[in-house]
Amino acid sequence: MSIGRDGITGLILLAVSLFLLVKSFQLPSLPIVPVGPGFYPAIVLSLMAAASALLVLQDLLKRRTPAGASDAPRRNYRLVVIAFAIVGAYVALLPFLGFRIATVLFVGALQAALDRPRTVRQWVVLATIALGTAVMSYFIFERYLLVLLPRGAWTGF
Amino acid sequence: MARTLVTMAGAAALLAALSAPAMAQYPERPIKMIVPWAAGGDTDNIFRPFAAELQKHIGQPVVVANVSGASGTTGAREAKAAAPDGYTVYAVHDYIHLTFYAGISDVKYSDFEPICLVSATPSVLTASAKTPWKNWQELADDAKKRPGEITVGATLGSTSHIFPAMIEKAAGVKFKFVSYDGLAPRMNALLGGHVNLTDSNLTQKGKVEAGVLRYIAIASEKRDPEAPDVPTLKELGMNIVYEVARGIFVPKGTPAPVRARLEEGCVKATKEPSFAQAMKVQGTRVAFLNANDYAQFLARIDNENKVVMTDLGLIKK
Amino acid sequence: MLDLLWNGLVNIAQWKYLLPLFAGTLIGVIGGSLPGVTITMTVIVVLPFTYGLDPLAGLAAMTGVYVGGSTGGLIACCLLGIPGSPSSIATTFDGFPMARNGEPGRAIWLGVWASVWGGLLGALFLVFLTGPLAAIALEFGPWEYFSLFVLAMAMVAGLSESSLLKGLISTAIGLLITVVGHDPIGSVPRFTFGSAFIGGGFPFLPVLIGIFAFAQIMTDLEKLNSPRGEALQSPAGVRLERFSHLKVNLEIFKQPFLLAWSTIVGLIIGILPAIGGSASSVMAYDQAKKFSKTPNRFGKGHPEGIIASEASNNANVSGSLMTIMAFGIPGDAVTAVMLGAMTIHGIQSGPLFISQNPDIAYGIYAAYILAHPCMLLICLALMPLMLRVTSVRMAVLAPVVLVLCVVGAYALNNTMQSVYVLLLFGVVGYMLVKLGFPLAPLILGLILGDQIEINLVRAIMTDANPWLFLTRPISCLLLLAAASSVGLAIWQHWRHQTRMAGEEPDF
At residue C277, the pLDDT reads 81
Domain of residue C221, residue span:
2-499
A14 within a domain of the structure (yes/no) = yes
Task: Tell me, yes or no, whether B188 and B155 share the same domain.
Answer: yes
Task: Tell me, yes or no, whether B147 and B70 share the same domain.
Answer: no
Residue B22 predicted with pLDDT over 60? no
Q: Mean pLDDT for chain B?
A: 87
* CATH code, domain carrying B139: 3.40.190.10
Secondary structure (DSSP) of C422-490: HHHHHHHHHHHHHTT--HHHHHHHHHHHHHHHHHHHHHHHH---TTHHHHSHHHHHHHHHHHHHHHHHH
> Across residues B182-186, what is the average pLDDT?
84
Q: Which of A101, A108, A146 sits opposite B15 (nearest CB)?
A: A101
- In chain A, the number of structural domains is 2
d(C-alpha C312, C-alpha C287), whole Å:
11
B230 within a domain of the structure (yes/no) = no
C504 within a domain of the structure (yes/no) = no
Domain of residue B207, residue span:
124-218
Element (H, E) at C250: helix C245-253
Tell me which of B74, B80, B105, B158 to substitute to probe the interface with C (most C C-beta atoms closer than 10 Å). Answer: B74
Give helix C164-179 / helix A5-25 axis angle, nearest 10°.
Answer: 30
- Residue with the bigger pLDDT between C225 and B75: it is B75
> Across residues C51-58, what is the average pLDDT?
82
Tens-place pLDDT, residues C305-351 = 999 999 999 999 999 999 888 888 887 888 888 888 887 777 878 88
Are C147 and C482 in contact by the 8 Å Cβ rule? The answer is yes
Instruction: From residue C366, give the alpha-carbon distance in Å to each of A63, C65, C134, C270, C363.
Output: 62, 14, 19, 19, 5
Task: Tell me, yes or no, whether B189 and B52 share the same domain.
Answer: no
Task: Tell me, yes or no, whether B48 and B197 share the same domain.
Answer: no
- In chain C, the number of structural domains is 1
Residue B276 predicted with pLDDT over 80? yes
Tell me which of C30, C33, C173, C179 to substitute to probe the interface with A (most A C-beta atoms closer than 10 Å). Answer: C179
B11 within a domain of the structure (yes/no) = no
At residue B284, the pLDDT reads 92
d(C-alpha C341, C-alpha C359), whole Å:
16
A100 within a domain of the structure (yes/no) = yes
* CATH code, domain carrying B254: 3.40.190.150
Task: Tell me, yes or no, whether B180 and B37 share the same domain.
Answer: no
Question: Do residue B206 and residue C348 have CB atoms under 8 angstroms apart?
Answer: yes
For residue A73, cis peptide bond before it (omega within 30 degrees of 0)? no
pLDDT confidence bin for A64, thresholds 50/70/90 = low
Q: Which of B4, B32, B64 sits opposite A112 (nearest CB)?
A: B4
* Type of residue numbered B279: M
d(C-alpha A147, C-alpha A138), whole Å:
9
Question: Do residue A155 and residue B12 have CB atoms under 8 angstroms apart?
Answer: yes
A69 within a domain of the structure (yes/no) = no
Question: Do residue A41 and residue C504 have CB atoms under 8 angstroms apart?
Answer: no
Task: Tell me, yes or no, whether A102 and A47 share the same domain.
Answer: no
Q: Mean pLDDT for chain C?
A: 85
* Type of residue numbered C292: S
- Residue with the bigger pLDDT between B166 and C497: it is B166
A97 within a domain of the structure (yes/no) = yes
Question: Do residue C328 and residue B207 have CB atoms under 8 angstroms apart?
Answer: yes
d(C-alpha B62, C-alpha B43), whole Å:
16
Find all residues with CB under 8 Å of C273, minimum gap 6, and list them.
B184, B185, B188, C137, C320, C323, C329, C330, C331, C332
Q: Lowest mean pLDDT: which of B93-97, C486-490, C500-504? A: C500-504
Tens-place pLDDT, residues C255-285 = 899 999 999 999 999 988 777 788 889 889 9
At residue B149, the pLDDT reads 92
Residue C481 predicted with pLDDT over 50? yes
* Chain B residues with CB-CB distance to C339 below 8 A: 40
* Chain C residues with CB-CB distance to B43 below 8 A: none
**Residue A84 φ/ψ, nearest 5 degrees:** -60, -40
> Chain B window 263-302: which residues touch A at a Cβ cutoff of 8 Å?
none
A28 within a domain of the structure (yes/no) = yes
Element (H, E) at A62: none
Tens-place pLDDT, residues A104-154 = 999 999 999 988 888 999 999 999 999 999 999 898 888 777 778 888 888
DSSP alpha helices (H): ranges in chain A? Answer: 5-25, 39-61, 77-97, 99-114, 120-138
> Across residues C148-176, what is the average pLDDT?
82
Question: Do residue C328 and residue B176 have CB atoms under 8 angstroms apart?
Answer: no
At residue B217, the pLDDT reads 95
- 3-state secondary structure at position A70: coil
* Chain B residues with CB-CB distance to A33 below 8 A: 156, 179
Domain of residue A16, residue span:
5-61
A96 exposure class (CB count in 10 Å sphere: 0-12, 13-18, 19+): middle
pLDDT confidence bin for C36, thresholds 50/70/90 = confident
Tens-place pLDDT, residues C426-436 = 999 999 989 98
Q: Which residues of A120-155 are buried (b: 16+ CB within 10 A; e: fewer)?
A: eeebeebbebbeebbeebeebbbeebbbbbbbbeeb
* Chain A residues with CB-CB distance to C222 below 8 A: 75-77, 79-80
d(C-alpha A16, C-alpha A45), whole Å:
9
Are C367 and C63 in contact by the 8 Å Cβ rule? The answer is yes
Residue B151 predicted with pLDDT over 50? yes
Task: Tell me, yes or no, whether B108 and B150 share the same domain.
Answer: no
Q: Which of B21, B32, B313 sits opposite A156 (nearest CB)?
A: B21
Residue C450 predicted with pLDDT over 70? yes
Tell me if chain B has a CB within 8 Å of the CB of C415. yes
Tell me if chain A has a CB within 8 Å of the CB of B20. yes
C432 within a domain of the structure (yes/no) = yes
pLDDT confidence bin for B7, thresholds 50/70/90 = very low
**Residue C182 φ/ψ, nearest 5 degrees:** -75, 135
Task: Tell me, yes or no, whether A83 and A139 share the same domain.
Answer: yes
Beta partners for residue B245, in sequence order: B120
Task: Tell me, yes or no, whether B113 and B140 share the same domain.
Answer: no
CA distance to partner chain B, nearest, from residue A7 (Å): 37
Q: Which of A37, A62, A148 sits opposite C190 (nearest CB)?
A: A37
Kindly report the pTM of this predicted structure: 0.85
At residue C162, the pLDDT reads 62
Task: Tell me, yes or no, whether A57 and A95 share the same domain.
Answer: no
Tell me if chain B has a CB within 8 Å of the CB of A104. yes
pLDDT confidence bin for A2, thresholds 50/70/90 = confident
